[in-house]
Amino acid sequence: MAVPKKTFDVFRKIASTCERETMIPRGAVVVAGVSGGVDSMFMLAFLDAYREKYGFSLLACHLNHMIRGADADLDERLVGTYCQEQSIPFIPVRVDVPAIAKTRGISLEEAGRLARRDTMTRLAGERAGATRGYRVAFAHHMDDRAESILMHVGRGSGLAGLIGIRYVDGVFIRPLLDVRLAEIESAAEALRLPWREDATNRSDTFLRNRVRHHLLPVWKEVLGYDPAPVLARLGDAAGSDEDALAEWAASSLGDVILPDRTLSVSALADRPKAIIMRVLALHYAAMAGETHDSPHSLGAVHLEDLYACVLRCAGGEAHALSCSLPGGVKADFKDGRLSLVFPEAGA
């Protein structure tokens, strides 16, 4: 495929991001999540152009959420036709996202996110087998990241929420995070790339769309500057700080955990609040991961409760305290130790 200069320049920017963030190991399998929109189609075109240079195998996956009927079928057909023309391996998958949302009691947006991650991780693992690494590529761009940061701020997020969307999150990679949507559209037009616009992107039903259509334009009008690059820099700064705190917390957990897997309250209380909260979250997640029915993370309210108990016990205000956590889990503070007591399986 001949690549116009305008498109090549954007490809080069994306390639620089991939190299800086060491996104794709050599020999890996990369599954690209392709909706049929301009951003995901452009990401697929980039990965197709660069897969030989970076030495990876490419598989395109389109997930039909079974929400938009005939429109969704047309999206699937467009992606499939393009992949056939470009000799890109392609797998279409249909998942009943509304049923997932109803069963789990979550929003359609969250159910769709979980379905995409689960489906594409499974496909990547199957293709990679036991000997090859794999990555799952999503087409989030800088504007998506800015929207995510504002959504997290609106929900009262902590430092981690200010990151917005990470370049690399485990096996998930986002090569387009340094590129604006307008750049993608212009480069895609120059490449004469086919794509379809999802009609739901124009609806204000979803919070992200309201942020995109109303909040960001008002910010730009009132403050006199484009907020997306500024928010992206905020996300980078927050990411560096969060990574450092996470490393400190992991080291601290090793220092305060006792042989019976309880925590030393006095040793824990010697640390700053930000570290104590992270140690509590890490310890809970590690312990909950060994059970089948317990949640694997704690919310801010429960962490604050645990933190208050740590201070009271360490300060001598109470010698025995108990704190209820989600899923029937109980935190017991006694004899200077914190024990997490999980319910019996099936109880």
Q: What is the pLDDT of residues 46-81, one digit of tens each?
A: 999 999 888 999 999 999 988 877 888 899 999 999
Confidence of residue 295 (pLDDT cuts 50, 70, 90): low
Two tokens, residue 21: 């963030």
Cα separation of 19 and 165, whole Å? 18
Mean pLDDT of the 241-254 span: 96
Mean pLDDT of the 216-241 span: 93
pLDDT > 60? residue 291: no
Per-domain boundaries in the chain: 5-223, 257-341
DSSP one-letter string for 31-72: EEE--SSHHHHHHHHHHHHHHHHHT-EEEEEEEE-SSSTHHH
- pLDDT computed for residue 65 by the predictor: 86
Confidence of residue 237 (pLDDT cuts 50, 70, 90): very high
- pLDDT computed for residue 347 by the predictor: 46
Mean pLDDT of the 31-43 span: 96
Q: Which of 129-143, 202-216, 307-321 is the least confident region?
A: 202-216
Percent of the chain with pLDDT over 70: 96
Confidence of residue 328 (pLDDT cuts 50, 70, 90): confident
Q: What is the DSSP letter of 290?
A: T
Q: Rounded to two decimals, what is the model's pTM? A: 0.86
- pLDDT computed for residue 130 by the predictor: 79
Percent of the chain with pLDDT over 90: 67
Mean pLDDT score of the chain: 90
pLDDT > 70? residue 296: no
138: burial class by Cβ within 10 Å (0-12, 13-18, 19+)?
buried
Q: Are 125 and 185 in contact (CB under 8 A)?
A: no
The dihedral through the CA atoms of 129, 131, 132, 133 has a sign that is positive
Q: Which CATH number fits domain 5-223: 3.40.50.300, 3.50.50.60, 3.40.50.620, 3.40.190.10?
A: 3.40.50.620
Q: Are 47 and 32 in contact (CB under 8 A)?
A: yes
Closest CA to 280 of 250, 313, 260: 250
- pLDDT computed for residue 292 by the predictor: 43
Q: Are 17 and 28 in contact (CB under 8 A)?
A: no
Question: What is the CATH class of 257-341?
Answer: alpha beta
Tens digits of residue pLDDT in 117-141? 999 999 999 999 878 899 999 999 9
- pLDDT computed for residue 313 by the predictor: 92
Beta-sheet pairing, 168-169 with 172-173? antiparallel
CA dihedral 122, 124, 125, 129 (to 10 degrees): 140
Mean pLDDT of the 237-262 span: 96
Amino acid at 62: H
Mean pLDDT of the 270-277 span: 96
Cα separation of 50 and 4, whole Å? 15
Higher pLDDT, 346 or 317: 317
